[in-house]
């Protein structure tokens, strides 16, 4: 995208605001899942299917970006329109009493999510090119900040009517223990039913307004580009061949990997993202704990934003993996003994969550380049496990045996470390090969220089002799 500095900054700010509102809307469904069980009067397993449908639709939306919208439409306008559409659908979802309609609207919301998350990252790369790393981190910070605000915004409107489903599933001994704890203090005062339609309606209105403003801004940017294209038409015609050759050389320098190696690198990064993306450890004992974990994610993402200006993505991932292993180890071995350790482990892991996705994205952009199709594939990988039914699978066990979630996270972290090692070996191998290729010409030139000097010496001796 070729545009003026001010328009570029305003457009970037608009993308970040749209991403924040999207995160505020989309991730609120993790908090309001039990309320939707009350609204549509269905068990938790049936309601969890909506999350699977939503994430499957997110994969479809991301694929549409790479195959359709990137070729036949202005992606920034599409982003703005689907931000407004997602807000409207989320507001409607809160008043739907039917499970089928609930799943259908979740599909529309997921479709919007896939489009928004793919286009927002790719547009930032198109705007800033090699300077995009801090702005990609800023997008991640916007999402994580939304996850901090979301529990605070929705908690006054959540239902505090206790459900008997846990009693029926997990047995009487657990029932008595749970009942004694939950009846001591009412979570939000007097008993009241869910009123989550209020914050969703407010967010929907804000998303519609911001989306409309971004459409107007993009139309202004297009008009500015058309004016510049007319002014520079003659110059571009004369220098087209030179610019094309310069661009080709620059692309080769930016992406030194061969096509098979780039493809392998893309697959590995997508696998790394797919395995890691669902490691959110939500010890949802209270909304306050979710807020603390989300705050840690936002702080971690802010720290990553500042660190990305100095630290390369590969080193950033190594640091994040180190903290992730520590946090998960605390949760796995000690959290069941002391609640404080559960807080420490959860906050440590969530500190990593805010950076991991964007760090892998930055690494992929640096090593293999970025396009709409690659961005679509990357976003699909982020939602693929939830799209094939992982939340429904965990929902069958996590209420009675929550340790199953830590088993899953531990195995996922192990797989992530293995993938990271493979990626590191590829990067170091390519670097060693480039260094070797650079040394050989230098050695040849030095040898030629020495031979040339010896030839001069022999000529001088011959002259003296004769």
Report the distance separating Cα 375 and Cα 388, nearest Å.
20
Q: What is the pLDDT of residue 170?
A: 54
- How many other CB atoms are there within 10 angstroms of residue 5's CB atom? 7
Report the distance separating Cα 367 and Cα 380, nearest Å.
20
Q: What is the pLDDT of residue 261?
A: 60
Report the distance separating Cα 162 and Cα 175, nearest Å.
12
Report the distance separating Cα 419 and Cα 95, nearest Å.
44
Report the distance separating Cα 207 and Cα 211, nearest Å.
6
The answer to whether the Cα torsion of 77, 204, 375, 297 is positive or negative is positive
Report the distance separating Cα 117 and Cα 78, nearest Å.
12
What is the distance of C-alpha 338 from the center of its chain? Answer: 32
Report the distance separating Cα 382 and Cα 275, nearest Å.
8
3-state secondary structure the chain: CCCCHHHHHHHHHHHHHHHHHHHHHHHHHHCCHHHHHHHHCCCHHHHHHHHHHHHHHHHHHHHHHHHHHHHHCCHHHHHHHHHHHHHHHHHHHCCCCCHHHHHHHHHHHHHHHHHHHHHHHHHHHHHHHHHCHHHHHHHHHHHHHHHHHHHHHHHHHCCCCCCCHHHHHHCHHHHHHHHHHHCCCCCCCCCCCCCCHHHHHHHHHHHHHHHHHHHHHHHHHHHHHHHHHHHCHHHHHHCHHHHHHHHHHHHHHHCCCCHHHHHHHHHHHHHHHHHHCCCCCCCCCCHHHHHHHHHHHHHHHHHHHHHCCCCCHHHHHHHHHHHHHHHHHHHHHHCCCCHHHHHHHHHHHHHHHHHHHHHHHHHHHHHHCCCHHHHHHHHHHHHHHHHCCHHHHHHCCCCCCCHHHHHHHHHHHHHHHHHHHHHHHHHHHHHHHHHHHHHHHHHHHHHHHHHHHHHHHHHHHHHHHC
To the nearest 10 degrees (0 to 180), the angle between helices 99-128 and 33-40 is 150
Region for residue 129 given its phi and psi (left: phi exceeds 0; alpha: psi -120 to 50; beta: otherwise): left
Domain-by-domain residue ranges, the chain?
1-162+194-224+257-439
Cα–Cα–Cα angle for 100, 101, 107, rounded to 5 degrees: 95
Q: What is the pLDDT of residue 277?
A: 44
C-alpha distances in Å from residue 102, one per residue of 21, 89, 92, 140: 21, 10, 9, 28
The answer to whether the Cα torsion of 4, 66, 62, 81 is positive or negative is positive
Structure tokens at 319: 């640091």
What is the distance of C-alpha 194 from the center of its chain? Answer: 30
Q: How many residues does the chain have?
A: 466
The CATH superfamily of 1-162+194-224+257-439 is MFS general substrate transporter like domains (1.20.1250.20)
- 10-residue mean pLDDT series, the chain (466 residues): 72 91 87 83 81 86 76 83 92 88 93 89 83 83 84 81 53 44 45 79 92 88 75 44 43 51 60 49 48 70 76 83 82 67 75 75 77 74 64 60 69 81 79 62 51 42 36
Cα-Cα-Cα-Cα torsion 442, 448, 450, 454, nearest 10 degrees, comes to 180
Q: What is the pLDDT of residue 63?
A: 84
């Amino acid at each position: 995208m070729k545009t003026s500095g001010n328009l570029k900054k305003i457009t970037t700010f608009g993308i970040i605001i749209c991403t924040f509102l999207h995160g505020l809307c989309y991730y609120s469904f993790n908090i309001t899942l039990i309320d939707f069980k009350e609204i549509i009067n269905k068990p938790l397993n049936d309601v969890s299917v909506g999350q699977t449908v939503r994430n499957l639709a997110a994969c479809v939306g991301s694929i549409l970006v790479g195959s359709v919208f990137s070729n036949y439409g202005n992606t920034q306008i599409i982003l703005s329109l689907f931000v407004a559409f997602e807000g409207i659908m989320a507001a409607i979802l809160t008043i739907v009493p039917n499970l089928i309609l609930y799943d259908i609207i979740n599909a529309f919301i997921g479709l919007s999510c896939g489009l928004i998350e793919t286009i927002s990252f790719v547009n930032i790369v198109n705007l800033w090119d090699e300077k995009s790393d801090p702005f990609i981190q800023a997008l991640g910070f916007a999402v994580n900040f939304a996850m901090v605000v979301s529990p605070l915004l929705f908690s006054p409107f959540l239902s505090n009517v206790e459900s008997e489903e846990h009693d029926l599933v997990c047995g009487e001994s657990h029932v008595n223990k749970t009942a004694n704890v939950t009846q001591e203090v009412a979570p939000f005062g007097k008993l009241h039913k869910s009123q989550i339609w209020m914050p969703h309606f407010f967010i929907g209105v804000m998303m519609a307004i911001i989306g409309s403003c971004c459409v107007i801004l993009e139309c202004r940017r297009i008009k500015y580009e058309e004016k510049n294209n007319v002014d520079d038409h003659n110059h571009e015609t004369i220098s087209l061949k030179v610019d094309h050759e310069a661009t080709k050389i620059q692309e080769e320098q930016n992406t030194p990997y061969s096509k098979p190696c780039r493809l392998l690198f893309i697959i590995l990064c997508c696998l790394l993202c797919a395995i890691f993306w669902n490691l959110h450890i939500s010890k949802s004992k209270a909304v306050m704990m979710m807020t603390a974990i989300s705050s840690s994610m936002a702080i971690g993402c802010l720290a990553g934003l500042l660190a990305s200006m100095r630290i390369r993505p590969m080193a950033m991932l190594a640091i994040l993996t180190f903290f992730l292993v520590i946090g998960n180890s605390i949760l796995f071995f000690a959290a069941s003994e002391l609640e404080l350790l559960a807080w420490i482990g959860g906050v440590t892991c969530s500190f990593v969550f805010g950076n991991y996705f964007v760090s892998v994205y930055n690494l992929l952009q640096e090593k293999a380049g970025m396009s709409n199709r690659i961005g679509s594939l990357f976003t699909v990988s982020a939602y693929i496990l939830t799209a094939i039914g992982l939340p429904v699978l965990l929902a069958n066990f996590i209420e009675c045996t929550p340790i199953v979630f830590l088993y899953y996270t531990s195995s996922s972290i192990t797989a992530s470390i293995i993938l990271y090692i493979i990626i590191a070996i590829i990067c170091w191998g390519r670097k060693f090969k480039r260094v070797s290729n650079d040394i050989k010409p230098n050695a040849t030139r030095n040898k030629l220089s020495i031979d040339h000097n010896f030839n001069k010496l022999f000529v001088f001796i011959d002259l003296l002799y004769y």
